Amino acid sequence: MKNRDKLRDATPAEVRAVLDDHKAIYSDFDGVLVPSTEGLFIDAYKKVLRDYNIKPKLSFLVQVVKARSAAKNSDNFWPALIGHMNKTHGIPESELDRSLQLAYQYAKNDLKNVKLNPDAPEFLWERKNAGHDLGLVTATSRFTIDTVTNENENFKNANFSEIFEDKIITADEASPKYKAYGQMLDASGHHPDEVVAIEDSKGGVDAARKAGIKKVIIYKDPSASFLTKHILNAGIDKLSNLKADSFAQLRKNKEDK
């Protein structure tokens, strides 16, 4: 639709009605169910560099985020990062394994404390108990999902592992993301018209649409960093009139204010 950006935003009740009219909900992870973890991984990169007495510059960190987003998976990304360190700072390639393990450990320590966004687990359980099929389709790594599922008490208390069961596709199983959506559709047996996707980024919305999913709710993460809002998600407001500023708005039996 040429005037898509001029459409009136749907009310929370109308967005909930869209959910009610569909059989399945496929949710993104980073920036949707949890606050964006890009800052967490940037901190891990900083710590690795500082272990080598290197003070990272902002321009380098921006490139790190972009490279990580473009990488097929985390295992492909880290060697490229270490290669950059070798070329720019003279760090020997023999340090690859040690640097890799350091980065994973720094990231894991922080992932153990990540919290689910308010009302996110309640929304998911509510929809699951109402009969919706739920799937997690994410461009993050299997390492991230396994860490929060198995070692994060916040996720354990929400019984996160039982929400999606085995219906989880990460970047390590399929990339780029539209292929992950396609793989989830094939595995679940859903027609794209039966599915609503929940995304927070332009890339995620485009991926869902490319897989044939027409209804995409844009979750506008209030904790998103400046980098996420203004570099990765430029133009997202023009993609859909289905928006949510909180999961509380998406829960059943809520009244518009």
101 and 200 inside one domain: no
Quote the pLDDT of residue 103: 83
The model carries a pTM of 0.84
Q: Among 111, 144, 162, which residue terminates a domain?
A: 111
Residues sharing a CB contact under 8 Å with residue 134, sequence separation 6 or more, in sequence order: 24, 25, 26, 27, 124, 127, 128, 163, 164, 167
pLDDT score at 94: 78
Choosing from 77, 111, 145, the residue where a domain stops is: 111
- Same domain, residue pair 135 and 22: yes
What is the C-alpha to C-alpha distance for residues 51 and 66, in angstroms, rounded to an integer? 23
Look at residues 207, 224, 252 and name the one whose alpha carbon lies nearest to residue 35: 224
256 domain residue, yes or no: no
Count of structural domains within the chain? 2
Q: Is residue 91 predicted with pLDDT exceeding 90?
A: no
Residues 56, 32: one domain?
Answer: no
Same-domain pairing of 173 and 83: no
| Domain-located, residue 101 | yes
Per-residue pLDDT reduced to its tens digit, 60-88: 666 666 666 555 555 556 666 666 666 77
> 164 φ, ψ to 5°?
-100, -15
Question: Residues 123-145: pLDDT tens digits?
Answer: 999 999 999 999 999 988 898 99
Q: Which of 122, 128, 147, 165 is nearest to 33 (CA)?
A: 122
Instruction: Please name the residue that has the structure tokens 């793989």.
Output: 183
| Domain harbouring 146, CATH code | 3.40.50.1000
* Residue 257 placed within a domain: no
Highest averaged pLDDT of the listed ranges 2-11, 164-173, 232-241: 164-173
Host domain of residue 78: 38-111
Q: In this structure, are 203 and 185 located in the same domain?
A: yes
Q: Give strand pairing partners of 196.
A: 25, 215
**Domain termination site, one of 111, 128, 160:** 111
Would you place residue 28 in the very low, low, confident or very high pLDDT band (cuts 50, 70, 90)? very high
pLDDT in tens, 94-103: 777 787 788 8
Q: Domain check: are 80 and 205 in the same one?
A: no
